[in-house]
Structure 1
Amino acid sequence: MTQDANAPPPFQVNTIELVSVESSKITGVSVYSGRAEVTRAYRFAVKTGQNQVKISGLPNVLDHDSLRVEGRGAATIHGVTIAPTPIPPTASTSPALQALLLKQSRLRKASTRSQKAAASLEAYLNTLNAEKIGVEQLGTVVAQYEVEGEKIDDRLIELEQQVKDVQTEIDVETARLRGSSNRNHELGQTATVGVFAEQEGEVEIVLIYAVYNASWSATYDIRVNMQAEEKPITLIYKAAISQSTGESWEDVPLTLETVTPTYGTELPILDPWRISIYKRPAPRPMMAMAVPAMAMRSVRAESAYASMPAGGPGAPPPPPMPVMQQMQLSVASQGNMSATYQVPGLISIPSDGQAHNVTIVQLELDAVMSWVSVPRVDTRVHLKAKIKNASEFTLLSGNASVYVDGSFISKSDVPAVSPQESFDCPLGLDSAVRITYHPLSKKAGQSGFYSKSSTRSYTQRVTVHNTKSTAIGSLTVVDHVPISEDSQITVKLLAPVLPDPGNKAVATAGGGSGKEKEKVRVSEGVVAQWDGADDEEADPAALGKEGKLNWVCKVPPQGKLNLMMQWEVTSPLNVVVLGL
C-alpha cells in the first residue's frame, strides 16, 4: 500500500490560518432587538488527514456559547474551540525605520556643518580692516561674501526641508509598527476548527455566531389624509439598524427578527402561605454593667427585629436564599410567536454605531377619527385616530412622526400591535373646532322647617362650534360635577339625566343604575353618558363614582351645539362646604 504523496506524515496536523474578514463572505445576518446572528462562509483547501483551521479576526463581542459550525465537502468536523487571539510582540523597529533614522542623522550633521560654515564666513568678514583694503577691492570682497553666503543659505534651507520630509516618513513607519499589533483591536477572537479530510481538495465551512452591540428598533411615519373616506392612514414601517461589532456588514442579506431572546422563563413556584400566632421572645437577663437608657432601647429594638420573622408577626422564618445561577444566553430561533422581516436586496451596515434606516413596508390602514376636549381645564380640541392594523405585520413599539394633510404635527409613540389589533394615535390639536366654556351660574336657597339646610344650584353651559366644511363624527366633551366625601353633603345631578351611579357621592334625577341607562339622548346628535361607559371592560357599578361625564356629539359642517349641565349641592345651613 503506497502512501499519498500529498498526505501529511502520521500524527502531523496540517495547520491552515485564515483571517475572517479577508477569507470569508457574510451570507446572512439576522438582527434582533439586542444582538445579531451572523453567518460566514469560508472556502479553502485541505490535505488528507487531520487539518487544524485557525480563523482569526472574529469579534470580541461574539457570544462563545452561540458558535456553531457547519460544513460541506469530503471531510468531518472534529471539534470547535474559540479563545482570544494571542497578542504578538510589539515591533519597535524595522530595517526601513533604521535606514530613515540614519538618513535623518546624516542630514542633521550636514545642517550643523553648513551652520558652522555660515558662522565662519561672518567671522572672516568681521576680521577685515577697511583701512588696509582699497576701495577698488572692497566691492569684490562684498560681492564674494554675498555669493558664498547665498550658497550656504540655500544648502541650509534644502537640508531643513529634507529633515522634515524624513521625519514625516519616520512618523508613518512608527505608526505602522505601532498599529500592526492592534490594528484590529475589536476583532480579537480566534476559532479553531478540527477538520479530518478523506482526501485532498477544497471544502467549505460555515460559522454561525451571535454578537452583541447590534440591534434594530422600529420607527414610523404616520400620514393622515383627513379628506379620505376609506383608509385615511398611510403607515410607513421603518427599521433603524445599528451595530458596533467591529466587522462591517458589506452587501449582506439582512433579516429583522421581532422575537427577543430570553432566559430564565421557568414557571414561578408559589410557596405555601403560612400564618401563626406571634409569640413574644423571653426577656434577656440584665447585663452586669450599666447601660445608658438610649443604648438599651437600641439593643432591645435590634433584638426584637432579629427575632421577628421577615413576613411580620406570625410569619415563619424565611427559607434560605437560593444559589445564584450564572446567566446563560443563546440565540433564539424564529418561532410561531414572532415575525421575521426580510429586507429586500443586499444592504451594507458599517460598524459605526449609527442608525441606518430601511423601509420594511408601507401600509394603507383604516382608522376611526375622534375629537376630545376637557374644556374645564383647556378649551382646545385634541384629535386622535384609532388605527386598525389590518395587515399581517407585527408592529413593534417605537417612535412615530405624525403628518396630517402633509403637515408635520407631532411625535408620538406606537405600542406593540399584533395583526388585526387596534391602537390609538394622537394627531395633535384641531383649531377648526372651537369650544366656549361659559362662566358658571350659581344660585343659593334654604329649605326645611325643623332642620334648616342650604341648597346651591349650579348651571354650566358649553358651546361647540365646528368651523370646518366637513362634519365631525365623534366629539367627546368631558366635564365633571363635585363628589361628596361627607354624609351631610348631597350632590345631585339634574341635567343631563343620567342613571344613578350606585354610590352616595353623587345622586341623580334619573332612575336605574348599572348599564340599564348608560347613554341618554340629550338632543339631535348629542348623547350624554358617564365617563367610561364605552369601555367594554369597565365595571358598571363603578360608572360615575368620580363624577365625570361625557357628551358624545355629532357636529354638522359649520354647525353649533349648546350643552348644559346642572347640579345642586345640599348641606346643613351653618356648615361651610370646602371645594365649591
Structure 2
Amino acid sequence: GEFTILSVNHRNNYLSNLEEQPEIKNIRNQIEALQLKIEDEKSAIATLDEKLSFMQANRDVMSKAQSIQIEQFKALIDVYTNNIEQINSAKLRKARLIKDYEKQVAALQQQLADRKNRGQMPSGEIAVNISADRPLNAKLSFSYIVSNAGWHPTYDIRVDDITKPVVIFYKANVFQNTGTEWKNVRLSFSTATPWISGTLPVLNPWFIDFYMPVKVTGYGMQRKAEAPVMLESVAMADKNTFLKKEAEAAPVAVEKIEGGMSITFDISVPHTIPSDGKIQTIEIQRTTTAAEYKYVTIPKISNLAYLTGNITGWAQMSLLSGEATLYFENTYVGKSFLDVNQLSDTLTISLGTDPGILVKREKRKDYTTRRTIGANKTETYSFLITVRNNKKSPVKISIQDQVPVSSNSSIIVETPELSGGKLNTETGAVTWDLDLKPGETREMIMTYSVRYPKNQTVILE
C-alpha cells in the first residue's frame, strides 16, 4: 500500500483471554469422555444392586411360604445362586473398569496441569504506527525472534567397513516453549547468532598496581545465577500440507543457503513442534564422504584399538560441533563428540573401539634392572608391545607410548632400543606407524634408562 511505517513496537497483553491450545482442548475432551464412562459404569452397578435387593426380598418371601415344596425350594435356591454369581461377576468387572478409567483420568489431569502451567503466558501484540495520505487497506506480514526456542546439532556416523566411505547423518534437535504449537510448518535451521552484538568491542587499557590485601572479617557463599543457554535460532514459515509419519527416515529435501557469515538449512517437509520444551529430532542432511581409516592404540593406558577416520574437505559440509552416535559394521559402538573447531584441513572422527585388533603391553622383567655405579643410580625399564590384526583386510595403526622426560639436568634419560619408533624428545612420546596385513602380528620393544644421583629419589613407577 501507499503508506510509510513510522515505528514497530512489541508489547504484552495480560488482559485478553488466550485461545485454548488444541493440545489442551484434546486432553479435556479425553477426560470428559472417561468421566462419562465412569458415570455409565456406576449407574450400571446401581442397577445391579437394585436387582440383587429385589432377588433377596423375593427369596425371603418364598422361604417363609407354608405351602412350598422341597423340590420347589431347591429350584429357587439354584436360580438365586446362579443370578447372584452373574450379578457379582458383572459388578466386579465394572468396578475394575472404573478403577482403570480413574487412573487414566488422573494421568490426563496431571498432563493437563503441566500443559496449563507451560501455557500461562501473556499474549504478544505488535503495534505499528503508519503514515498515509488517504484511507486505504494494507496487508502486513512480519517475522520475529523468540528466545525460548532453539536447536543444536547431533550426528549419526556410520561406517559399514573400513574399505567403504563414512556416512554422516546431520540432524537437528529442535525444541520450543513459546506457548504456541507450531503445526505443519516448514523449518529453517540457521547457524546465525542474533543475540551476539555485532558491534566491535573496545580494548581498554589494562592498569596494574601493587596488590593490597583486604582484611577478611567473614566468609559467605552466594550462588551465581546460571546464564540462559542460547542456542541457534529457529525460523518458522507458513503452514503447508499435513505431515504423515514415514516408515523409514528417507533423505529429506533440504536447501542450503550460504550467507556472508552464516548458513541456513531450509527443510522442505513440514513438521509439527508442540510447545512443551521437548526435543524433536529432524534430519538436515545426509553426506557420504571418503575417509582415510587408521587405528590408534595407547597400550600403556588401554589395550583397546580405536578406529579413527580422517576426512579432508570437511569445511564444505557446513558441520557444527555436537554429539555423535557411532555405528561400525552395523553395530552401535558408543558416542563421541564431533569437534569441528579445528584449524586443520583434516577432520579426525573417533569411531570407537574395534575388537578385531589385539594389543598387549608387558614388562620384560629380565631386562628391567636397578643398579648403582659410583655416585649415580641407573634404572632400566623394558616393555614388549604386541599387536595383531584379526581382521580380513589390511589396516593402518599408530601405536603410542612414552618415555619419561627429564626436567632436571642431573637426571639423564636414554632410549637404547625403540624398535624403529619415532621419539619426540620434547614430550617423550614414542610412535610406531604400521601397516598390518590380515592375520599379521608385530612386536615392538621399548627400553629406556634413567640415571640420577643415588642420594635422590625419582618416581618411575
> Taking structure 1 as the reference length, what is the TM-score of the superposition?
0.49
Aligned residues: 321
Runs of 5+ unmatched residues, structure 1? 1-72, 90-181, 281-300, 306-330, 497-521, 531-542
Query: Structure 1 residues 570 and 343 mapped into 2: Cα distance closer, same or farther (>3 Å)?
Result: same
The RMSD of aligned alpha carbons is 3.6
**Cross-structure match for 2:438:** 557
**Cross-structure match for 1:465:** 388
Query: Structure 1 residues 418 and 75 mapped into 2: Cα distance closer, same or farther (>3 Å)?
Result: farther
CA distance in 2, matches of 1:419, 1:237: 21
Matched, 1:242 2:175: yes
**Cross-structure match for 2:276:** 352
Matched, 1:493 2:427: no
Quick check: which has more Rg, 1 or 2? 1
Deviations 1:457-504 (A, max 9, x none): 43221111111111112x1222222344554442211112xxxxxxxx
Match of 2:368 among 442, 460, 464: 442
After TM superposition, give the deviation of residue 269 of structure 1 in Å.
Answer: 1.9
SS in 2 for 1:253: strand
Whichever residue aligns with residue 236 of structure 1, its letter is F
**Cross-structure match for 2:193:** 260
Map of 1:214-253 to 2, 5 A cutoff?
A: 214-229=149-164, 232-253=165-186
CA distance in 2, matches of 1:554, 1:358: 40
CA distance in 2, matches of 1:237, 1:557: 34
8 Å CA contact retained: 2:414, 2:449: yes
After TM superposition, give the deviation of residue 550 of structure 1 in Å.
Answer: 1.4
**Cross-structure match for 1:325:** none
CA distance in 1, matches of 2:438, 2:404: 34
Whichever residue aligns with residue 368 of structure 2, its letter is K
Map of 1:72-471 to 2, 5 A cutoff?
A: 73-85=1-13, 87=15, 185-195=120-130, 202-229=137-164, 232-261=165-194, 262-263=196-197, 265-271=199-205, 335-390=259-314, 392-416=316-340, 421-440=345-364, 441-445=367-371, 447=373, 451=374, 453-471=376-394
CA distance in 2, matches of 1:253, 1:545: 55
SS in 2 for 1:211: coil
Whichever residue aligns with residue 266 of structure 1, its letter is L
Runs of 5+ unmatched residues, structure 2? 18-116, 217-232, 236-257
Normalized per residue, the structure richer in helix is 2
Map of 1:17-96 to 2, 5 A cutoff?
A: 73-85=1-13, 87=15
Query: Structure 1 residues 227 and 574 mapped into 2: Cα distance closer, same or farther (>3 Å)?
Result: closer
Identity %: 25
CA distance in 2, matches of 1:279, 1:197: 65
> Taking structure 2 as the reference length, what is the TM-score of the superposition?
0.60
After TM superposition, give the deviation of residue 578 of structure 1 in Å.
Answer: 3.9
8 Å CA contact retained: 1:391, 1:419: no
After TM superposition, give the deviation of residue 389 of structure 1 in Å.
Answer: 4.7
8 Å CA contact retained: 1:493, 1:566: yes
Query: Structure 1 residues 343 and 419 mapped into 2: Cα distance closer, same or farther (>3 Å)?
Result: farther
**Cross-structure match for 1:545:** 426
CA distance in 1, matches of 2:307, 2:390: 15
**Cross-structure match for 2:241:** none
Whichever residue aligns with residue 400 of structure 1, its letter is A
After TM superposition, give the deviation of residue 343 of structure 1 in Å.
Answer: 1.0
After TM superposition, give the deviation of residue 555 of structure 1 in Å.
Answer: 1.3
After TM superposition, give the deviation of residue 373 of structure 1 in Å.
Answer: 1.7
Map of 1:480-519 to 2, 5 A cutoff?
A: 480-496=402-418
8 Å CA contact retained: 2:12, 2:122: no
8 Å CA contact retained: 2:13, 2:125: yes
**Cross-structure match for 1:291:** none
Whichever residue aligns with residue 553 of structure 1, its letter is L
**Cross-structure match for 1:579:** 460
Deviations 1:71-98 (A, max 9, x none): xx34444544433325269xxxxxxxxx
Query: Structure 1 residues 493 and 247 mapped into 2: Cα distance closer, same or farther (>3 Å)?
Result: same
Whichever residue aligns with residue 206 of structure 1, its letter is S
Query: Structure 1 residues 202 and 345 mapped into 2: Cα distance closer, same or farther (>3 Å)?
Result: farther
After TM superposition, give the deviation of residue 191 of structure 1 in Å.
Answer: 2.5
CA distance in 2, matches of 1:453, 1:357: 65
8 Å CA contact retained: 1:394, 1:417: no
